[in-house]
Structure 1
Amino acid sequence: MTLTPIPIFLLLIGILKFVEVTVNLLVLICVGAAQASVAGFTSLGGFGTGSFSLNSAYSPFEGTELQEVRDLDMQFTQMRAPCVYGGVAFSLTAAVLTLVFLVVGAKPIQQLRIRLLAGECAFNLLAGVAYVVAVGLYLHFVSQVNSTDVCKRRERLYARRGYTSMNCAVQGGDAAVALFGVAAACLYFASFVVCILAIRTVRAFQSHAAKAQHSPKSSVRDRSVRNHHAVHRTSESSHNVQALATLV
């Protein structure tokens, strides 16, 4: 009866790890998409290349206004750069470590080690807490950048030409980053709980296996098997002696 829950826990851990890797990649994609969506006309992909990335055949700005919007786009994307680089590094690191635990933990029940599961539990707890903190810092940093004079001047400049999407509110891409970040945190906390249950079950399995190995019944069984092999070897040797005597 103790053997039944073990594969269920391990299967559930594997499924959660796979979903966590997927959500981490979604966070990574949303971070890049959020930066690209607020980059503006004069900052291709949000990295300040100095060319028009949207509607490149037609420029809504001319003369000094064009130079001003270029400068504002460049400053705005540079101010948001820590969000991009930090979000990419964090989500990519979490995805790689989760994938490592997924590969290392793909073993039969008999080969699992309590230390490995304990390390995985610690990682799940730290990753869940880190994601909650990271989402809070991301939204706080985005709000700070959106409240700057650069963002407000840029918003007025784009609104003058009818482009109201370049505003200083939290954009949909940033909201998606926060949403998937919270989902990742919930997944890691769920993995932590399942991992604790898996440790208890694996310990019970190992204790049951150790008791079965050293029980009197198993000792009697082992002795009977050894006696059977000894009798078999003796009968074989006597048969060989008889055959040799017959030949002589």
Structure 2
Amino acid sequence: MVEALLAVLILVCSAVSCGSTGGYTGLPSLGGIYYYQYGGAYSGFSGADGEQAQQLDQRFYLLKLPIARAAMAVGGCLLVFSCILIVVGVLRLPWHFPAWLLLECILDTAIAIGIVPALYYFFHFLLGVYNSSVCKEREQLYQSKGYQGFGCSLHGAEIAVGLSGCVAVMAYLLSAGLAVRGYRAVHKLKQKPVQLYEL
């Protein structure tokens, strides 16, 4: 259940990271916080500045889109895997096929190890986007109109993805240890009836 919750957090926070086409000029995202905060899609901009802001928002969004989609895909896969484990537990498959627990241990360990380079690549890619000329130009344009919050730095949802990923690494390593422990317990319990019968 913890793994499923962490997967949902990774999925949702990744979606928030690229949830609109940009700042408050993103017309498809009328429910965005900036839209209502500043009173309209083009509040403070007119003519060429408004068009430039919209273009920069779109280009910035397209720069972030690949890594956000990759993070959402990872979160989705982790969610599916954790749901499969829940169903397997409900069906008591480990009792009937104890070898499943060893397979689960291997998969949990592989996932935990795989999340580490995935997190590195996630932040490396995002920092590259935030250091790009598009982001710097966008930041300067919004600052020239007196708007804050469009800086070229990681925001809360992206940091939450990283924290959730780190906790997920620990959760999957713990799960791998519990799978080995469960395998030993099931193996021992299955040997008891034979031992009693022999006595």
Q: TM-score, normalised by structure 1?
A: 0.72
The answer on whether the counterparts of 2:95 and 2:186 sit within 8 Å (CA) in structure 1 is: no
Quick check: 2:94–2:101 contact (8 Å CA) kept in 1? no
CA 1:187–1:108: 2 relative to 1, 3 Å: same
After TM superposition, the structure 1 stretch with the greater mean CA deviation from structure 2, 98-107 or 62-71, is 98-107
Count of aligned pairs between the two proteins: 195
| 1:13-24 alignment runs, 5 A limit | 18-24=1-7
Partner of 1:99: 83
User: What amino acid is aligned across from residue 196 of structure 1 in structure 2?
Assistant: V
Aligned-residue CA RMSD (Å): 2.5
Residues 112-141 of structure 1, C-alpha deviation per residue, up to 9 Å, x if partnerless? 322211121112112211222221111111
Match of 1:180 among 132, 145, 164: 164
Query: Matches of 1:173 and 1:108 in 2, distance apart?
Result: 37
Q: Which amino acid aligns with 1:192?
A: A
Q: Confirm whether residue 132 of structure 1 aligns to residue 116 of structure 2.
A: yes
* TM-superposed deviation, 1:179: 0.8
Structure 2: 5+ residue stretches without partners? none
Q: Distance in 2 between matches of 1:109 and 1:57?
A: 54
- Work out whether residues 20 and 26 of structure 2, in 8 Å CA contact, stay in contact via their aligned partners in 1: no
1:209-237 CA distance string (max 9 Å, x none): 33223x0x4xxxxxxxxxxxxxxxxxxxx
1:146-189, CA deviations, whole angstroms, 9 ceiling, x for partnerless residues? 01000000000011112221011111111111111111111111
Match of 1:199 in 2: 183
How far the C-alpha of 1:109 sits from its partner, in A, is 8.6
Q: What is the aligned partner in structure 1 of residue 13 from structure 2? A: 30
Q: Does 1:160 align with 2:140?
A: no
Per-residue CA deviation, residues 193-219 of structure 1 (Å, 9 max, x unaligned), is 111111112111222233223x0x4xx
Match of 1:43 among 6, 11, 26: 26
Please give the residue correspondences for 1:3-82 in structure 2 after superposition, counting only pairs within 5 Å: 18-36=1-19, 39-44=22-27, 54=35, 55-56=39-40, 59-82=43-66
- Please tell me whether the aligned partners of residues 13 and 161 of structure 2 are also in contact (alpha carbons under 8 angstroms): yes
Q: Kindly indicate whether structure 1 or structure 2 has the higher relative contact order, using CA contacts under 8 Å at least 6 residues apart.
A: 2
> 1:109–1:101: structure 2 CA closer, same or farther, 3 Å change rule?
closer
Task: Decide whether the 8 Å contact of 2:25 with 2:57 is kept in 1.
Answer: yes
* Rg larger for: 1
Q: TM-score when scaled to structure 2?
A: 0.88
* 8 Å contact from structure 1 (residues 42, 73) kept in 2: yes
Q: Distance in 1 between matches of 2:28 and 2:135?
A: 17
Distance 2:28 2:4 in 1: 25
The answer for the alignment partner of 2:95 in structure 1 is 111
Quote the offset at 1:111 in angstroms.
3.4
Counterpart contact for 1:39–1:45, Cα < 8 Å: no
Query: Any idea what SS the aligned residue of 2:22 has?
Result: coil
